Amino acid sequence: MTAHSTWFISDLHLDAKRPEIVHAFIQLLGSAKGQASALYILGDLFEYWIGDDIVDSPAGQLVTPILASLKQLSDQGTQLYFTHGNRDFLIGERFSEMTGCTLLPEQQVIDLYGVPTLLMHGDTLCTDDVEYQELRKMFYDKTRRAQFLALDFESRIAEANRIREISQSKMQDKSDEIMDVNPQAVAQTMRQAAVTQLIHGHTHRPAIHEFELDGQAAKRIVLGDWYHQMSCLKVTEGQFDLS
């Protein structure tokens, strides 16, 4: 890959309990120098994010080296972009300033080597998981967010761990089909964005899906997680390298 390649990652779920993954991510950032013209992080970079002031808490010992590595890459000329995931939706302007990342909206269309491409985390495409979609509404409620951010650090971490445990417990009772994207939701979302190419994460099922959308050839690229593979999509004109 040349310096003209564009990289995409998601679902790293960086956590102090998995220091080897943190180390691997920092190594990836080092390898991006001189190779990636842009790096897009499509959500769930962290296992949880309790607010940008996490850097002022004991948990900041984990995130500070990560933020510094991102800033170093940005300063070296790689453009950095971040889309919120369902685990780190509280990332804000302070994170942006400390890393040099541009925060993107929930859905963003970019020109990817001449092809309009929709970028998103991907959780809103999983419409069959009604329970999760209702929980997501709670996460994005401004009043609830303010109440959460008003808590002290320890309380926020305890609440984040409680929600994570509940989520993991509920996932065990759901079928793979329910937790995957809904094809109709994918088609509708791509139509509304007027694109035939979509890149997203969230489902942890890396693959390149080629299909037909309203008579046109379409492509949906799903990024993998960093639990079982250190997934990264590297794109040059006409070439998709998904690891």
Q: Does the pLDDT at position 179 exceed 90? A: no
Residue 200's pLDDT is 98
The per-residue pLDDT for range 65-94, each reduced to its tens digit, is 999 999 999 999 999 999 999 999 999 999
What is the predicted pLDDT for the residue at 165? 85
Average pLDDT over residues 7-30: 96
Domain 5-242 has CATH 3.30.1490.20: no
- Residue 91's pLDDT is 97
Task: Report the pLDDT averaged over residues 31-58.
Answer: 94
In this predicted model, what pLDDT tens digit does every residue of 124-171 receive, in sequence order?
999 999 999 998 998 889 999 999 999 999 999 999 989 888 877 777
Q: 166 Cβ partners below 8 Å, 6+ apart? A: none
Mean pLDDT of 10-20: 94
- Region 187-197: mean pLDDT is 98
CA distance 62 to 68: 11
Give the pLDDT confidence score for residue 164 in this predicted structure.
Answer: 83
Does this model's pTM top 0.75?
yes
Average pLDDT for the chain: 93
Please report, rounded to a whole number, the percentage of residues in the chain having pLDDT higher than 90: 83
d(CA 2, CA 23): 24
- Which of the four pLDDT bands, split at 50, 70 and 90, describes residue 1? very low
pLDDT at 3: 58
Joined tokens for residue 163: 């929600």
